[in-house]
Amino acid sequence: MSAEDWQDFLANNLGKLIGITLGLLLGWMIIEYGLIKTVFVIILVAIGFILGKQADDGEKLSSFTDRIFKR
């Protein structure tokens, strides 16, 4: 396969490849560490993603905490 064929393959199947990779990683983590620890790591990754996205968008941390802990 040429480099152009690989680029076309990746462009047409990127979501599938990411899904397979995440599925394998999640399955391995559940087998290796257990369900509770894996869910905990997923929650921390989600919180980190949300905070990082807000930092990239120029929002403050207080807007995140205000949404979570509505006063």
pLDDT (tens digit per residue) in 8-60:
888 888 899 999 999 999 999 999 999 999 999 999 999 899 888 888 888 87
What whole-number distance in Å separates Cα of residue 56 and Cα of residue 32? 33
Q: What proportions of the chain, in percent to the nearest 5, are helix, strand and coil?
A: 85, 0, 15
pLDDT on residue 54: 85
Q: Which residue has the higher pLDDT, 64 or 16?
A: 16
Examine the pLDDT at 66 and tell me if it is beyond 80. Answer: no
**Helix, strand or coil for residue 60?**
coil
Examine the pLDDT at 65 and tell me if it is beyond 70. Answer: yes
Sign of the alpha-carbon dihedral angle for 11, 13, 26, 40: positive
pLDDT on residue 67: 75
Examine the pLDDT at 71 and tell me if it is beyond 70. Answer: no
